[in-house]
Structure 1
Amino acid sequence: MENPIKGRVWKFGNDIDTDLIIPGKYLRTKDMQVFAAHAMEGIDPEFAKKANPGDIIVAGDNFGCGSSREQAPLALKHAGIACVVAKSFARIFFRNAINVGLPLMEADIECEEGDEIEVDLLKGEVRVFGKGVFKGNKLPDFLLDMLTDGGLVGHRKKVQSQQKEESI
């Protein structure tokens, strides 16, 4: 995980549900490129074509509400979204994002679509270039460790490997 994460803003409003992030008709596949090609299609059909690797989504309240599908954060991650910043997240989306290694931060920031921002997960801050620094909710260290290790699976593999070395 890179820190800080610097990128261009894609701005969305409140209550962006998982059907908007990845419509249900694409859930029958396990192909991450299909998820990436249709990320945010429910709200912006051209999003996946316009977004670039390293871009950052900024949203309002309750981002990721709706069903508990893990495919929603996977779609964003594989579309190249580097981070999601929102006023608040649906709890299941929040944990699914951490589990798949998609960085996120709860913060109420003022920015416009296309602005350059820098998200410092270690400090719990978001810098909007030309507009200021906004304080967010810093993730607990154990969640930062999971993100650094690429998500829950990568983290568990690392921990198990360390435990094997210690037992030798």
Structure 2
Amino acid sequence: MTGYVIRGRVHKYGDNINTDIISPAQYMELSYADMAAHAMEGIDPDFSRKVRPGDIVVAGKNFGSGSSRETAPIALKYAGVGAVVAKFFARIFYRNALNIGLPVLELPEVGEINDGDELEIDLARGTIRNLTRNKDYRFTALPDHILELLQAGGLVPLLEQKMQTKY
């Protein structure tokens, strides 16, 4: 896959951002768009007003810990987040994010990225360029089947595409 580039402004958070912070439980029954209006509300009440399409959430260790609710990555995606970059993720959040087509990337050097920096992420090449600081980073390249999943917009759209092709 070529040409899968995400460019956006950084919204930076710390360690142990759990699913209750990302997607507060009292909004789980709302539509995805309405739920997205409350994304990150527990730590950043203005997040949904500040985030622009393609912006990038950067966080420390254990992003997405807590419950296995799928609404956490869905709220971020529908808020317009183009990708999440963290030191490491809670595994269930990581898998849920990929399943709904939200790129999640592990980068040990997240401490070098600041709130408001502009990043350019090339998923196919495994690179992150901090355009604000003129610094480049590498992350473990995503396997082709994960790039295909992200390009399709998630697991359900990918399966729908494959079923249409097959039948």
TM-score (norm 2): 0.93
Alignment of 1:1-150 (within 5 A): 3-29=4-30, 31-109=31-109, 110-129=112-131, 130-150=133-153
SS class of match (1:119): strand
| Amino acid paired to 1:153 | V
1:49-70 CA-to-partner distances (Å, cap 9, x unmatched) read 1111121101111111110000
Q: How many residues align?
A: 163
Answer whether contact 2:4 2:151 (CA < 8 A) is retained.
no
The 2-side partners of 1:28 and 1:2 are apart by 36
Answer whether contact 1:108 1:134 (CA < 8 A) is retained.
no
Structure (1 or 2) with the larger CA radius of gyration = 1
1:27-80 CA-to-partner distances (Å, cap 9, x unmatched) read 122x01211100000111111111111211011111111100000001000100
The 2-side partners of 1:59 and 1:133 are apart by 18
Sequence identity percentage: 50
1:104-138 CA-to-partner distances (Å, cap 9, x unmatched) read 21112321110111111111111112241111122
Answer whether contact 2:3 2:122 (CA < 8 A) is retained.
no
Answer whether contact 2:18 2:65 (CA < 8 A) is retained.
yes
| Amino acid paired to 1:79 | A
Q: Which runs of 5+ in 2 are unaligned?
A: none
The 1-side partners of 2:140 and 2:42 are apart by 28
| Amino acid paired to 1:16 | I
The 1-side partners of 2:13 and 2:158 are apart by 31
Answer whether contact 1:70 1:93 (CA < 8 A) is retained.
yes
C-alpha RMSD of matched pairs (Å) = 1.4
The 1-side partners of 2:150 and 2:104 are apart by 10
SS class of match (1:58): strand
Q: Which runs of 5+ in 1 are unaligned?
A: none
**Per-residue deviation, 1:2:** 6.6
Answer whether contact 1:105 1:121 (CA < 8 A) is retained.
no
